Structure 1
Amino acid sequence: MRRFFFKYFFAGSLLSILYCFMALPVFSQNQILGKQVKATVDSSSIKIGEQFHLTLQASAAPSQQLVWPQIPDSFDHFLVVDKSKMDTLRQTGNNVYKQQITLTNFDSGYWKIPAFSFGMVSGDSAVTSPSLTTDSLFINVNTVPVDTTRPFKPIKQIMGVPFNILAYWPYILGGIIVLAILIWLIFFRKRETVQKAEQIIPQEPPYDQAIKNLHALEDEKLWQNNEVKLYYTKLTDIIRFYIQRQFGINAMEQTSDELLQKIKPITKLNQQKNNLQYILQTADLAKFAKLQPVREDHEASMRKAYEILEWTKPKEEVEQMNKAQASLASSEGITNNES
């Protein structure tokens, strides 16, 4: 009896040691992986069509990459309503990953949520370690109890919602603001148009305006008061502005040499090239070379400016002046005859 006991005790001990050695690789692997995967639900019993949450959680060492299970939009009578973003925490040296999935079911009965498999990739290795699986879960989907002893109730009419102006105040306020902006824009544009219309003053003909400006420049007596540079600046601006309006040349933006080149195609203006060149060169010397032209230069520049205007003025104005002179001469002749 004693030999029999020791025999079976030795055999049992040997089997236990052998089992431990066989389980050692699995145990060691789980320690290396830091394995811990689980699936939980917030309710194991729901009504048909009711939503509940499935939470998947897994932990892994920082040196390992976790392969998350692919969850389809529907599986085993369950429909996926929503998936949260992956949440990562740090616990006891491991990374803990967590995701919440919202599910629902429209088939009454006792249904199983299958186990989910996770994979691990260690370091730079492209080989996935054996899968780590969660436990299966069961959900009881109940129907809504119906009392069949009672008769069917009639379909109710559509219920009207009482009007409450406070519920529409954001829209009313927005409409008032938009209406105020439209009124302001219309009024502002109309006022701006009126102001522009008021500002539009018919300009004098180029010749008349230039003659008037030359007379005004003479009355200022600038060069007589040692304002030579200002005198030539205004004189050249009057001639340039006249050429720009009368002949369409951008004379105000041209240099002296460029302007003399631009007038060549215009025969009437080009015939006054020497006079224009004299004025521009004298002005450049006075403004940039800081030379002081003498009195004869000032008077010659003004005289040549008048000559340019008289030579290039439009035919209509020449005809009007001839008619005015003729009428004046005839009136003087009549006066002499009467006397």
Structure 2
Amino acid sequence: MLKNYLVILKNVDKIKICIVFFICGITSIFSQQPPVLLSSVDTTKIKIGEQINYEIKINTDSIFNIRFEENKIFNPFELIEEFNIDTLKKEGQITLIKKFSITSFEPGVQTLRPQKILVNDILYYSDSILIDVLNVKVDTVSKKFFDIKNITELQKNNDGWWKKYLLGFFILSLIFIGYRFYKKLLISKSQNEKVPLPIEKAIIALQHLESKDLKEQLDYKEYYSKLTDIVKNYLEEDISLDALESTTDELVNKLELLKDAGKLSLNQETITNFKSVLKTADLVKFAKSNPGIEIASSDKKLLETVLLNTKDAIPKPTEEELLKNKEYLEKQNKEKRNKIIKKTLIVILSFTALILATSISIYGWKSVSDTLLGNSTKTLLNKTWVQGNYGAHPIIISTPDVLKRLKSEDINQTFEWESLTKSIYVSLKIESDNDKIEQKDVQSVIDELIIELKGRGAINILTKQQEIFIDKGSPAFKIFGSFDYSDQDGITKRHEYVNLKFQENNGKQRVLVIYERDNNFAKEIAKKIEESIIFKIE
């Protein structure tokens, strides 16, 4: 009986243990909470084509097997980019975040559809969201529209159009100054030819001297002063007699001395009459005498007779005197011409300096000096360029002159223009290689270029690179930078280079342009060459 009781107790313990395990299992099963799905966007109102950041969060207390639908449907929205799932753990909670970038090109209120998500093979749906897609307003009323214009040919390069007008203005100014100079010489020559004789000037001056308006003593004083000055000026000019600074007696004595020396054949009556008029003039000027109109008029006629008699009394000049007089006149004319030439040169130089200063202030010294003195690189930039189609895998490129083809032992083709010793150098290489260059292979292209530049004498080489694109073509690679190069004279200059690597028309094309850094015109040429490259994609 005791034995049976023990067996019963053992069975009861087993039952209790099973009940405990069952209860724990049920508790653990029901303690797992279902996942919570949250959907959100950064904005519910966009313009057509704007980006929306769409986010789905799954909150849970344990890690589940989560799978998003492979072919996600966002219609009418379009998927721009999908990001990997991010996992965040905080205080026993796990948050799984899935992000998308979407957009829409259909205006109106659109519904962002729920996304299917499998959690432990159980299907869940995210919330749907309404998005207002606004249309872009296009103004078709306030602005005037025009028909599409026909294709027109490009005109010739008109840079520096002002130069020809400036040159024309400068030439016309020189012609005008030259004409005025020539005209002034003619006038001076004609004036020399028409210069009246001293006796003629004296007689004319006497005739213009009026005696009828003499009233007061001051009038007589002024009249006799002019009367005697006319005669004295004549004596100084025609006889070379110091008359203006001489008194009456001194002047009469000088005339008598000339008469006695046989240099002036004056009669005594003429000398006496002249002395009489001079005495009257002294009385008027110093004693305030008032001789009257009749005597004043008579003295003028008397002096006119003295002048004529004096002219007749002058001996005719010898051939030697005539020669000296001629030389003197020529010397006088030469001095006048020199003065005119000097003034003209000053005007021309001042005008030139003014134009030069104005041009420098507007265009700068470098541009003006290149225009006046000439710049070979600037000439290359402004000349009509040559557009050529080069190579078996053709590339169209424009350069100042035709690229010359170099001899090659392989199937590759090389074209060049100028050399590194010049301000700019252009090299074109065509390779018959259809293997595409990827971004990861660019470093090998850079290494090859550095080796080539070093082989040409370049040192201190710096490189940069970027990927470029051409219309309807494959990606191309641009490698650019600078280096130092020493010429044959040992002069080191900094050069810049642009290396363009294309892969078009079943081949590869390499364009290398090297130019002096300090030469702005060479830099413009390099840029113009780069912009001229065209491919006719086969």
TM interval, short-chain normalised = 0.3 to 0.5
Specify which structure has the bigger relative contact order, considering alpha-carbon pairs within 8 angstroms and separated by 6 or more residues. Answer: 1
**Structure 1 or 2: larger strand share?**
2
TM-score by length of 2: 0.22
The structure that has the greater radius of gyration is: 2
- Between Structure 1 and Structure 2, the one with more helix by share is 1
